[in-house]
Amino acid sequence: MPFSEFPPNYKIAVVGSGAVGCYYGGKLAHHGMNVHFLMRSDLETVKKNGLQIRSPDGDFHLREVNAFASTEEIGPCDLVLISLKTTANKALEKLIPPLLKENTALLTLQNGFGNEDFLAERFGTERVMGGLCFVCLNRVGHGVIEHYGHGALSIGEFGRSPQPRTRQIVEEFHQSGIITQLAENLVTERWRKLVWNVPFNGLSIAAGKITTDKILADEGLCTLTRNLMAEVIDAANREGHPIPHDFIEEQVSRTYKMNDYKPSSLIDYMAGHEVEVESIWGEPYRRGLRAGAEVGRLEALYFLLKKLTSRESAA
């Protein structure tokens, strides 16, 4: 399959139209891109009222949205943005095929490890790309997304260097008002995101359903946050993905600016939804262990979250 650029006015599908899918898909659509959203619970509201994005970068309201109840209705596309929770990956086996044609690219914006591998095994390695979203946002109502800050993206190819299509997508996101960089090594970027996700998503649940400001305000939790970050960085470095240790203070500093932010895993947990335990904590722990890293704190957090989330779902 050639990795050439997409044709003019290429067709994009968003599978997983929650906060992430609606925000990035909405930005592209606002820029004039040909975007189609797969929606379930928000479908009728969005068809009637459109999609609203509230953001410190500027609010906008997409009054006409291409929203559909099935991927069969959307049909073959050039690019598919995948932003489902990783706990729903099994559904992709049925959702993706109606969207495929010969050169369709699959760009997963999901958290943690294993998502590119899942797609490659089922739909072909040559189709797969990954994107890392460094963004602070929540879905606050049907068809309403609240963007609190950040929003940068790193986009790269799965298992190979950037291609012409990669550079084209990065440029399209740039033109849509999103700071986007080309990821030379996708796995390195995944580790970098986990430096934040592991402690803040995890401790927000394990420490009693608390927001990021309360984690940072507690001396013990703040120390534990830094130590968990150090373990993730050690695991990444031992796997050959260098991340400097001063990245810890950079992440802590930017989190202070988020104020009382609820990480996405906490929102899922409080709503009684499945939490992405394996992709965010389980797989990094196993990879770190195999690489010979010290991951005792990550191990404890992983098994605690497994217990907490299984109890919650059984309650």
Using CA atoms, how far apart are residues 147 and 136, in angstroms rounded to an integer? 6
What is the maximum alpha-carbon separation in the chain? 54
Using CA atoms, how far apart are residues 10 and 315, in angstroms rounded to an integer? 46
Using CA atoms, how far apart are residues 131 and 70, in angstroms rounded to an integer? 24
Using CA atoms, how far apart are residues 312 and 114, in angstroms rounded to an integer? 24
For tokens 């609606």, name the residue: 22
Pairing of strands 128-141, 144-157: antiparallel
Using CA atoms, how far apart are residues 19 and 55, in angstroms rounded to an integer? 12
| Residue ranges of E strands in the chain | 11-15, 34-38, 51-54, 60-62, 67-68, 79-82, 105-108, 128-141, 144-157, 180-182
Q: Backbone phi, then psi, for 234, in 5-degree steps? A: -60, -45
Active site residue 193: yes
Using CA atoms, how far apart are residues 236 and 190, in angstroms rounded to an integer? 9
Which of these is catalytic: 193, 209, 262, 307?
Answer: 193
The residues annotated as belonging to the active site are 193
